[in-house]
Structure 1
Amino acid sequence: MTPGRRGAVAALVVVVALIVAIWPRSGEDEVAVSVMPGTATEQPERRDQDTPEALAGPRLDANLMPCPEPVASPPARWPAGSALEILAGLQLGCLSDGTRVDLSSVLAGKPAVINVWAYWCAPCAEELPALQEYADSVGDSVTVLTVHRDPNERNALLKLTEYGVDLPGVQDGSGTVAGLLGAPNVLPVTIVLRADGTLARILAVPFTSASEIADAVTEALGGAQ
């Protein structure tokens, strides 16, 4: 083997090792990374073993807030090109009780902050408590909804209990929300919608404080919430 070929092989080995090191796993182990594997269609919304009976205990312990109420009188058609139009008809299970919610209907009527996360995501562990503090500070003026981007719903509930976070959220192991709205394949991702349902900004950066989130959301909304 020539020196040049040996060097190329060595470089390839290093690249493969790095990929293996950061690739998230779908099992029980926690992985402190923020890169999602594959495409949205490769994973189910939730695992088969995450039945209502199996999730009853974790749901009770998590004691999450219920998902937002759908808008009272939804229009026959959402604004053309808006995020609400893109999400129209998409129903996902609410983490608090498993009921199906229509995403467009629960996000309509006021600005919304959608936080896409996963139980194994290390930056998410720091960001979610900050998001809780932000949500508490803005009250009903902004809809804050978490979206769990891994099929393991049980671990999502266990982690939220551990973090002391009771924000409303939905289970989306297949990554449909992020995919439809054009979010990058990393976690966490915060998606900001204006009150009219149009997409204001996609923030593919982790936040560590409520003030950081507030500043980013205010800027995305043009200084108004």
Structure 2
Amino acid sequence: MRPRTVLAAAAVVLLSACTAERANPDGPVQVESLLAPCPDQPGDTAQGAARLPALSFDCPGGGELDLARAPGVPTIVNLWGSWCAPCREELPLFQELVDLAGDRVRVVGVISKDGAPQAESFAAEAGVVFPSAFDGEGELMAALGINVLPHTYFLDPAGALVHTQVGPVTSVDELRGLVAQHLGVQL
């Protein structure tokens, strides 16, 4: 074999060994996600004078995030992308909050204006496994009229928007304080 042929064959073997794909009988091959599935939501329509736009997104870990439906529990929605330097700093803090909060507060990410492989790679590198929905085109950012990240939204169980955090949080203690102040949950 020629050296180029050997190198090409080795690259194909390495690339195929590095992907975690599974066959999907209903369509194209899907990449398995390390992110948790998005949680089930009650069938109730989100209520409140201020709400997030009524958009829905598939979650790489499974399920769907439907912002038109009430979450049923106090919920934090964090918009992030692997390309966003402040997101890279704060996303592990949200994972710490998830680990601390248990089922008292739900955290769901929205991967915004990003590629699925890049987001998955960053999440794995950062040790992030909480559910995140995929909004590769940035529909939610456009609907909210924002063009920078991170943005974090605090929702009460009925789906009312009770607080918007613009920019990054810098510590888990800051997050705990925001949760106590805006969601009424002591962690």
- TM-score (normalised: structure 1): 0.63
Tell me if 1:205 matches 2:180: no
Give the total of aligned pairs: 160
- What is the identity, as a one-letter code, of the residue corresponding to 1:70? Q
Q: 2:87 is matched with which residue: 124, 135, 144?
A: 124
**Structure 2 partner of 1:150:** 113
8 Å Cα contact 1:186-1:204 kept in structure 2: no
Higher strand share: 2
Residues 169/130 of structure 1: CA separation in 2 closer, same or farther (3 Å cut): same
Retained in 1: the 8 A contact 2:57–2:66? yes
2:59 alignment counterpart:
94
* Residue type of the alignment partner of 1:83: R
- Other structure's SS at 1:201 match: strand
Please give the root-mean-square deviation of Cα atoms over the aligned residues, in Å. Answer: 2.3
Structure 1 residue 82 displacement after superposition: 4.4
Identify if the C-alpha distance between structure 1 residues 120 and 52 changes in structure 2 by more than 3 Å, giving closer, same or farther.
Answer: farther
Q: Distance in 1 between matches of 2:28 and 2:36?
A: 17
Alignment-derived partner of residue 81 in structure 1: 49
- Show structure 1 runs of 4+ deviating over 6 A: none
Report whether the alignment pairs 1:113 with 2:76.
yes
Preserved contact between residue 111 and residue 193 of structure 1 (Cα < 8 Å):
yes
What 5-or-longer segments of structure 1 have no aligned partner?
1-50
Structure number with higher helix proportion = 1
Partner of 1:186: 148
Choose from 31, 46, 58 the match for 1:56: 31
1:159/1:52 Cα in 2 relative to 1: closer, same or farther (>3 Å)?
A: farther
After superposition, give the CA deviation of every residue in 1:8-44 in whole Å (9 maximum; x if it has no partner): xxxxxxxxxxxxxxxxxxxxxxxxxxxxxxxxxxxxx
Q: Normalising to structure 2: TM-score of the pair?
A: 0.75
C-alpha distance in 2, partners of 1:197/1:78? 4
Flag structure 2 segments of 5+ consecutive residues without an equivalent: 1-26
**TM-aligned CA deviation for residue 189 of structure 1:** 0.9
